[in-house]
Amino acid sequence: MLQADSVSFGYDGTPVLHAVSLNAPRGQRLGILGPNGSGKTTLLRLLAGFVRPEAGQVLLGGNAISRLPRAAVARRMALVPQETHLAFDYSVIEIALMGRYPYLSPLEFEGPQDLAIARDALRATGTDKLEDRSFTTLSGGEKQRVIIASALAQLTPAKVAVSTAVDSVLLLDEPTASLDLGYQLELVSTLRTLNQDRPITMVVSTHDLNFAASLCHELVLLRDGRVIATGPTESVLTRANIRALYDVDVDITRHAAAGHLAVVPIARIPLAAD
Amino acid sequence: MAEISGVKLQIAGSRGDTKRVPLAVVFLILLQPGMAMVNTQQGAVPGRIVSIVPSVTEMLFAIGAGSQVVGVSSFVRFPDEVSMLPRVGALLDPDMEQIFSLRPDLVILYRSQSDTREQIERAGISVFTYAHGGLLDVSETMRELGRLTGYRSQADRVARGIDTDLAVIRHRVAGRERPRVLLVLGRDPDMVRNVYASGGIGFLHDMLDAAGGANVFAGVSREAVQPTTEGILGAAPDVIIEVRTDGLLTPIDAQNSLVVWDRWSMIPAVRSGRVHFLMANELVVPGPRVATATERLAQILHPEAF
Amino acid sequence: MTASHHGSRRRRFVSLQLAFAISALAICLAAPLVGPTPLRLDAILDRSIPFADNVDAQIFFIARLPRAIAGALVGSALAAAGVVLQALLRNPLATPFTLGVSAGASLGAMLVIVLGVPPLIAGIPAVPVASFAGALGAIGIVYALARLRRSGLSTNVLLLAGVTLNSLFSAIIIFIQYLADYTQSFQAVRYLMGNLDVSSYTPIAWALPLLIVAASAFAWLPRSLNLLTLGDESAAARGVDVLRAQRVAFLSASLATGAAVSLGGPIGFVGIIIPHVVRMLVGADHRLVLPASACLGAAFLVSCDVAARTLMSPLELPVGIITAMLGGPFFLWLLVSKR
């Protein structure tokens, strides 16, 4: 569904990504893991189409996104940023309706269809009761879910219910960064449900190992702009890989109650002398 | 006003007695516009006078004290003798070094130049301050200067002459119908915008009144008025007189600049062709030539009487 | 509590918009009838009296009507530009003057006033032309600076460039005033306070095409502005051509501001009070806020101008002083009420 084909990118001559490839097939939940400065954010921006790679290309549904019209990309791929700061105060329903932008012409007003889709999206993330609340008064977790709802509304073609199967991609940038523990768990559950129902292919950039372990089918480990490992979570999330990624020694166990791998950091490994 | 000034003049005449002036009288003095205030420290007649105020400079020459003037304003043009005197700046930019280098014993400043005044008095030099007032203040100031400089009788004579001349003009126009006059002191060049006109107080208004005109803005108690377009149209003046100091424009350019009024043909003055441009230094400097200036105005307003 | 179906959402928009438009129109139509000189409507419209004798008609058609029209145009332009720039810079404290357009316009005007450029060049008044040229210069400089960094229009650089230009131009303006003589200085100071007494339809005719161009760009912007509120990348992710929207927003708002300042001088506070008030009344959806602000801006400035020409008649209180006297307390009240 979403592919990065050996993309490279640099800012003002400083290389950031070297020949990075990844593949997120339809319906998969893919995690991009790496320390700060590994190029995660840049990779996500490349995948979203905000910047063009210096080499290689990004493909959405088999088509290079650089060749697709802006609105066409927006109808198939949505982004949930790490944080959303509004300059002015909008209501929750207005934020959800903003997801309908790629379906309307500049002077067109949202129709009853759009309103229904927006409402459905809010319901899907459990935020329909907040419809008239002002966005800035919400908690971190509530805001996150409203933005996801807005993304959902964006990925739903006109004349179709939110629950209909449509090929689409949701990109999430550090979604747990500002969330309480409770909301983090809730987020995993929401994303899983959305992914299974629609299905929506998901690409999540995170440095939260346990979150990645609980959510993602496959992982891409990124360090210093290069992929050091990629594959199913179970096989990629190993002590050796974590050590290579974070210079940290960890203990990884299959946690029975949680139902997924659990990572416990043990000690920092001093950096080897060059 | 004459009585109070009499009281005040008496006090100033007894130099050295200023300390015994009762506070009430001092307060009254401060309320008089156009009156002079002198801080005298010596008893002698000032022999070296620097004057930043062109109208006072003219008065000094008129009363015979011209020989005592050693420094003048950058803007003074009259009489001819001033062209050879050193310039010491003006209202906004008095040249302190130049003033001190002339070693004056009396400096004449505008009332508003309080900082300058402080500096000069600190140097032990007497200061005479002046502010524009009405027509009556011209003669009063002249008499005051006469006392200060020791030319009392000449000053009285010149002042009386002015008063007489003005009375003659008033007599000539008495009983005649007074046209409504808009006296324009300034405006945007080439456009009737940001017009600056004479209000109901001040020497220009008084001159207009003496010349037999009715100032359209007589009801405004300010010296200058910037009326709106509505204000001008509503005033509907019968005569428009633009007043400027001379030397700014050639007479031909002055006449040409009046074309800006052509657009305003609904104003009675423009319709009847009674728009005049007067370039005369004596019109903007309230000094010994006020009677001449008033006569010029009167000639425009009541040509049949002159 | 909410508009529970789409129908009433659109209805709400339309009815609010109509309310703003109708009240603005009413105020603008009534304004020329109000003033220090009592006018009689029947006298104004009486064709039988020759114009030269009909003082009522003269005052209405020459003194008041052009002022009302100019006030409406300037007020709506500044208010709308304020809305657009606040959305562009993502800052409710931005004003049409934040990016240096007004400083450029003032500098142009100052140069004409003080350098003794002939005030009428081939019949065209020099001050408004120079003013607009100065505005264009400022726009060009700020835009070029903002484009220097990377591809894209960095709003931070826009802001910085605007602030820099404001300081620089203000310093030059003060210097020029220092060099000016007494009358020029006075003229310059009066210019800076704003003046809608155009007394002629010509400057209005010149400004109108510029304002129409800006307005047509404004019509295209509101939805994009809504999305820009979320952030550049969130907007881009939803399919907004962010660079294009930013460009159009910057250029149209600056054009409207430049035209407005050339017509009436730099009149402050309209561009910041009105967007605030409108947002407090109707929410933040720019599809409503932008046109409503244009309407309220027109009504506001026209009313301020009525006060300006009536309070101290026959003297004119510069309209910029009235807007400032309303602006200050308004912000104080905002500060206090926000707690």
Closest partner CB to B230 (pick from C63, C125, C183)? C63
Can you give the length of chain C in residues? 339
Is the pLDDT assigned to residue B26 strictly greater than 70? no
% of chain B beyond a pLDDT of 70: 86
Q: Would the pLDDT of B37 be above 70? A: no
Quote the CA–CA distance of A155 and A77 in Å, as a whole number.
7
What are the structural domains of chain A?
Answer: 2-268 (3.40.50.300)
pLDDT band, residue A136 (cuts 50/70/90) = very high
Which chain B positions have a beta carbon within 8 Å of C123's beta carbon?
A: none
**CA pair distance A39, A36, nearest whole angstrom:** 8
A78/C240 CB distance under 8 A: no
Tell me the Ramachandran region of residue B212: left when phi exceeds 0, alpha when psi lies from -120 to 50, beta otherwise: left
Structural domains in chain C? 6-338 (1.10.3470.10)
Q: In chain C, which residues have their Cβ closer than 8 Å to the Cβ of A94?
A: 226, 283-285
Give the C-alpha distances (Å, rounded to integers) separating A251 from A208, A213, A219. Answer: 15, 13, 18
Residues from chain A that touch C6, judged by Cβ atoms under 8 A, are 110-112, 114-115
Contact criterion met (CB < 8 Å) for A107 and C220? yes
For chain B, give the mean pLDDT: 83
- The minimal CB distance from C315 to the residues B186, B227, B233 is found for B227
Query: Does residue A111 belong to the interface with chain C, where contact is any CB pair within 8 Å?
Result: yes
Chain B partners (3+ C-beta pairs within 8 A): C
Which residues pair with residue A264 across a beta bridge?
Answer: A251
Q: What's the gap between Cα B157 and its chain centre? A: 19
Q: What is the pLDDT of residue A161?
A: 67
pLDDT band at B30 (very low <50, low <70, confident <90, very high): very low
What is residue B239's predicted lDDT score, i.e. its pLDDT?
95
Q: What is the distance in angstroms between the Cα of A238 and the nearest Cα belonging to chain C?
A: 34
Please answer yes or no on whether B227 and C120 come within 8 Å at the CB atom: no
B228 contacts C63? CB cut-off 8 A: yes
Residue C151 has pLDDT above 90, yes or no: no
Tokens of B98: 């130049």
Let me know the angle formed at the C-alpha of C308 by C28 and C23, rounded to the nearest 5 degrees. 20
Inter-chain contact B233–C55, Cβ cutoff 8 Å? yes
**Nearest Cα residue in chain C from B217:** C314
What is the average per-residue pLDDT within B75-96? 87
Q: How far is CA C271 from the centre of its chain?
A: 6
> Is a pLDDT exceeding 50 seen at residue B10?
no
Interface test with A, best of C83, C229, C242 (most A CBs within 10 A): C229
CA C254 to chain B, closest CA, distance in angstroms equals 27
Taking contacts as CB-CB distances below 8 angstroms, the residues of chain C near A79 are 233-234, 237
Dihedral sign computed on CA atoms, order B134, B137, B138, B141 = negative
Burial environment of residue A60 by CB neighbours within 10 A (0 to 12, 13 to 18, 19 or more): buried
Residue from C269, C109, C253 nearest C192 by CA:
C109
Asked if A106's CB is within 8 angstroms of C223's CB, the reply is yes
Note whether A86 contacts C230, CB cutoff 8 Å: yes
Q: What is the DSSP string of chain A?
A: -EEEEEEEEEETTEEEEEEEEEEE-TT-EEEEE--TTSSHHHHHHHHHTSS--SEEEEEETTEEGGGS-HHHHHHHEEEE-S----SS--BHHHHHHHTTGGGS-TTPPP-HHHHHHHHHHHHHTT-GGGTTSBGGGS-HHHHHHHHHHHHHHHTSPTTS-TTS---EEEEEESTTTT--HHHHHHHHHHHHHHHHHS-EEEEEEES-HHHHHHH-SEEEEEETTEEEEEEEHHHH--HHHHHHHHSEEEEEEEETTTTEEEEEEEEEPPPPP-
Mean pLDDT of A142-158: 90
> Among partner residues B92, B188, B234, which is closest to C59 by beta-carbon distance?
B234
pLDDT top residue among C155 and C172:
C172
> CB–CB of C56/C43 below 8 Å?
yes
Q: Which domains, from first to last, does chain B contain?
A: 2-166 (3.40.50.1980), 175-305 (3.40.50.1980)
Q: Which of B248, B255, B244, B237 is nearest to B293 (CA)?
A: B244
Rama region for C269: left / alpha / beta (φ>0; ψ in -120 to 50; rest): left
What digits encode the pLDDT tens for the residues B220-238? 999 999 898 999 998 999 9
More confident position, A258 or A82: A82
- Bridge partners, A201 (sequence order): A169
The sign one gets for the Cα dihedral C259, C265, C268, C270 is: negative
Chains B and A touch (3+ CB pairs under 8 A): no
pLDDT reading at B106 higher than 60: yes
Using the beta-carbon criterion (under 8 Å), do C9 and A74 form an inter-chain contact? no
With b for 16 or more beta-carbon neighbours within 10 A and e for fewer, the C283-316 pattern comes to bbbbbbbbbbbbbbbbbbbbbbbbbbbbeebbbb
Asked if C90 lies within 8 A of A45 by C-beta distance, the reply is no
pLDDT reading at C3 higher than 70:
no
Instruction: Please tell me which chains touch C, using 3 or more CB pairs under 8 Å as the contact test.
Output: A, B
Per-residue pLDDT, B25 = 44
Instruction: Give, in order, the Cα–Cα distances in Å from C5 to each of A116, B3, B294.
Output: 9, 86, 80
Tokens coding B188: 């945007």
Per-residue pLDDT at C7 exceeds 70: no
Its pTM surpasses 0.90: no
Peptide bond preceding A232: is omega within 30 degrees of 0, i.e. cis? no
Give yes or no for A27 touching C (CB within 8 A). Answer: no
**Mean pLDDT across the stretch B250-262?**
83
Closest-CA residue of B relative to C121 is B190
Q: Residue A178 and residue A171: Cα distance in Å, rounded?
A: 17
Tell me if A87 and C86 make a contact (CB, 8 A cut-off).
yes
Residue C79 has a pLDDT of 97
What is the per-residue pLDDT across C226-272, written as a single tens digit (0 to 9) for each? 999 998 889 999 999 998 999 999 999 999 999 999 999 999 999 99
| Average pLDDT over every residue of A214-232 | 91
Question: Of B92, B233, B271, which is closest to C63 when you measure between CB atoms?
Answer: B233
pLDDT score of A102 more than 80: yes
How confident is the prediction for chain A on average, in pLDDT? 88
Report CB contact under 8 Å: B266, C63: no
* Residue of chain C whose Cα is closest to the Cα of B218: C314
- What confidence tens digit (pLDDT) does each residue in A157-213 have? 876 666 665 688 999 999 988 788 888 888 898 899 888 877 889 999 998 899 999
pLDDT tens digits, one per residue of A10-22: 887 788 888 889 9
Sign of the alpha-carbon dihedral angle for A64, A65, A69, A71? positive
B209 CB-near residues (< 8 Å, 6+ apart): B215, B218
Degrees, nearest 5: CA angle A139-A145-A148? 145
Give yes or no for residue C99 having a pLDDT over 50: yes
**Helix segments in chain C, DSSP class H:** 6-30, 41-45, 55-58, 65-88, 101-115, 126-148, 155-179, 182-192, 202-220, 222-228, 232-237, 242-264, 270-282, 286-310, 319-338
Closest Cβ–Cβ partner in C67, C182, C315 for B92: C182
Report how far apart, in Å, the C-alpha atoms of C211 and of each of A166, B201, C244, C260, C305 are. 45, 44, 20, 8, 20
Q: How confident is the model at residue B23 (pLDDT cuts 50, 70, 90)?
A: very low
| Whole-number pLDDT of residue B270 | 92
Q: Is A133 on the interface with C (CB under 8 A)?
A: no
Q: Assess whether pLDDT exceeds 80 at residue B18.
A: no
Average pLDDT over chain C, rounded to whole? 88
**Who contacts A248 (Cβ-Cβ below 8 Å, separation ≥6)?**
A242, A265, A266, A267, A268, A269
C-alpha angle C157/C163/C166, rounded to 5°?
A: 140
Model ipTM? 0.87
- The string of pLDDT tens digits covering residues C267-295 is 999 999 999 999 999 989 999 999 999 99
In chain A, % of residues over pLDDT 90 = 34
Q: What is the DSSP string of B74-124?
A: TT---SGGGGGSPB---SS---HHHHHHT--SEEEEETT-HHHHHHHHHTT
Is residue A199 reached through a cis peptide bond, with omega within 30 degrees of 0 on the bond before it?
Answer: yes
C92·A107 Cβ contact <8 A: no
Tokens of A220: 């891409």
Counting as contact any 3 or more CB pairs under 8 A, the partners of A are C
- Look up tokens 């979604």; give the residue: A175
Asked if C315 and B233 come within 8 Å (Cβ–Cβ), the reply is no
Q: What's the pLDDT tens digit per position in B167-199?
A: 999 999 999 999 999 999 988 877 888 888 999
Q: Between chains, do B191 and C314 touch, taking CB under 8 Å as contact?
A: no
> Chain A interface, mutation test: which of C10, C14, C223, C246, most A Cβ atoms within 10 Å?
C223
